[in-house]
């Protein structure tokens, strides 16, 4: 198979020939059709996340069909289409796993980070952590549902019943979350980089009622905000935009340092929290919600061999929606 290999930070991704992986007990071997490209992939490539598997096949928003099911797999049969998300394995025994918080399992393995992912023609995955993809979604459009959608949805659930929702950073996750939030009857206020008129127009086209620069105050206080951009300076800005009793959710896996800020910004029972990873229950819930909205994803395709270019484009920002590798074109 062809696979894109990440060797270490500072070294360009390389497209190489590799033997096909083999499905072990409990695993499925997949033919990859599409794999989303995520901000987290950039954090790994930049050495901002600790101890990745090296060399590594990146990619944790995998859509593929089962080629072969390993011993003991009765959940999926050859030919079935499945999605593989970031959470690749958990211990099943720790206090987090036993209390519905497997996203916090200390021994968890993550697709495209501590185990090989989907920037390849074939991959293997633990069948218990895969889910069926809603039938109406083509492979490419389904890919960003698996992280941008799913972890964005988890972040949205932590805003409770907030009616006025602020979103900082309008990339792949926000373009999906805006649609879900509007469908739930919330009002969306989108903050983008200074002068990003294109991003603002895109946010409005998806239902945001107000758009502004992240340094601008919103026209009215917000009930909750979600920060998707990895920029710590947005935390005080988001707290300042959020009403008493409101929540600020940091949805990324990495963020630059948060500058010191006045206690007054947190006072008034505001909550500041992060969202880490996902549980399988999140995946099932979101895959059920997405077609009901229905969430429509904007996805720009890249051939497998151009994974490095896709990451460079993601770094540049200013994209409408998501990027994904397409392996069926």
* Minimum CB distance to Zn ion smaller for 31 or for 94: 94
Which range binds Zn ion by CB under 5 A, 4-12, 38-46, 64-72, 274-282? Answer: 38-46
Which range binds Zn ion by CB under 5 A, 88-96, 127-135, 181-189, 320-328? Answer: 88-96
φ and ψ at 179, to 5 degrees?
-65, -40
Q: How many CB atoms lie within 10 A of CB 320?
A: 18
- Residues in contact with Zn ion, counted by CB under 5 A, come to a total of 8
d(CA 284, CA 306): 31
Q: Which residue bears the tokens 């991003």?
A: 199
Q: CB of 101: closest distance to Zn ion in angstroms?
A: 9
Helix or strand holding residue 303 (H, E)? none
d(CA 210, CA 187): 9
Which range binds Zn ion by CB under 5 A, 68-76, 140-148, 165-173, 295-303? Answer: 140-148
Which range binds Zn ion by CB under 5 A, 4-12, 34-42, 204-212, 237-245? Answer: 34-42
Is the preceding omega at residue 294 within 30 degrees of 0, hence cis? Answer: yes
Is 40 one of the binding residues for Zn ion (CB under 5 A)?
A: yes
Q: Which two tokens stand for residue 303?
A: 């051939």
d(CA 302, CA 41): 15
Q: Which two tokens stand for residue 16?
A: 């190489």
Q: CB of 50: closest distance to Zn ion in angstroms?
A: 17
Question: Pick from 5, 105, 127, 239: which binds Zn ion (CB under 5 A)?
Answer: 105
Is 38 one of the binding residues for Zn ion (CB under 5 A)?
A: yes
CA geometry: angle 275, 277, 281, nearest 5 deg: 100
Is 177 one of the binding residues for Zn ion (CB under 5 A)?
A: no
d(CA 83, CA 157): 22
* Minimum CB distance to Zn ion smaller for 67 or for 91: 91
Q: CB of 37: closest distance to Zn ion in angstroms?
A: 9
Q: Which two tokens stand for residue 323?
A: 């990027």
Q: Which residues pair with 82 in a beta bridge?
A: 64, 132
Helix axes 172-183, 148-157, angle to 10 degrees: 50
φ and ψ at 68, to 5 degrees?
-155, 135
* Minimum CB distance to Zn ion smaller for 162 or for 167: 167
* Minimum CB distance to Zn ion smaller for 256 or for 262: 256
Question: Pick from 35, 97, 120, 324: which binds Zn ion (CB under 5 A)?
Answer: 97
Is 147 one of the binding residues for Zn ion (CB under 5 A)?
A: yes
Q: Which residue bears the tokens 């620069």?
A: 213
Is 28 one of the binding residues for Zn ion (CB under 5 A)?
A: no
What does the per-residue mask of binding to Zn ion show for 8-27, with x meaning CB under 5 A?
--------------------
Q: How many CB atoms lie within 10 A of CB 196?
A: 18
What does the per-residue mask of binding to Zn ion show for 183-212, with x meaning CB under 5 A?
------------------------------
Instruction: Give the residue from 317, 286, 300, 20 showing the smallest Cα distance to 154.
Output: 286
Is 109 one of the binding residues for Zn ion (CB under 5 A)?
A: no
Is 181 one of the binding residues for Zn ion (CB under 5 A)?
A: no
What does the per-residue mask of binding to Zn ion show for 45-84, with x meaning CB under 5 A?
----------------------------------------
Q: Which two tokens stand for residue 129?
A: 């952590």
Which range binds Zn ion by CB under 5 A, 6-14, 37-45, 163-171, 258-266? Answer: 37-45
Binding site residues, Zn ion, CB under 5 A:
38, 40, 90-91, 94, 97, 105, 147
């Amino acid at each position: 198979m062809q696979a894109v290999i990440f060797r270490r930070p500072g070294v360009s991704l390389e497209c190489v020939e590799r033997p096909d992986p083999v499905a072990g007990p409990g695993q499925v071997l997949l033919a990859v059709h599409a794999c989303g490209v995520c901000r987290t992939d950039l954090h790994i490539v930049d050495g901002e996340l600790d101890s990745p598997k090296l060399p590594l096949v990146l990619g944790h928003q995998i859509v593929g069909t089962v080629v072969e099911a390993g011993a003991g797999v009765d959940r999926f049969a050859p030919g079935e289409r499945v999605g593989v998300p970031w959470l690749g394995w958990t211990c099943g025994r720790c206090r987090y796993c036993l209390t519905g918080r497997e996203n916090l399992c200390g021994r968890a393995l993550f697709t495209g980070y501590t185990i090989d992912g989907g920037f390849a023609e074939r991959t293997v995955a633990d069948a218990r952590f895969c889910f069926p993809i809603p039938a109406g979604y083509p492979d490419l459009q389904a890919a960003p549902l698996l992280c941008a959608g799913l972890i964005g949805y988890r972040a949205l659930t932590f805003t409770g019943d907030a009616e006025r929702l602020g979103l900082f950073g309008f990339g792949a996750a926000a373009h999906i979350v805006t649609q879900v939030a509007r469908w739930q009857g919330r009002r969306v206020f989108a903050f983008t980089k200074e002068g990003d008129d294109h991003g603002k127009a895109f946010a409005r086209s998806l239902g945001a009622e107000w758009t502004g620069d992240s340094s601008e105050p919103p026209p009215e206080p917000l009930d909750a905000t979600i920060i998707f951009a990895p920029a710590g300076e947005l935390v005080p800005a988001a707290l300042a935009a959020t009403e008493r009793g409101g929540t600020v959710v940091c949805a990324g896996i990495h963020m630059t340092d948060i500058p010191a800020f006045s206690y007054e910004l947190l006072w008034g029972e505001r909550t500041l929290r992060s969202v880490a990873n996902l549980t399988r229950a999140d995946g099932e819930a979101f895959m059920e919600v997405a077609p009901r909205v229905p969430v429509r994803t904007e996805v720009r395709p890249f051939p497998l061999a151009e994974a490095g270019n896709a990451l460079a484009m993601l770094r540049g920002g200013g994209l409408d929606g998501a990027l994904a590798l397409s392996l069926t074109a």
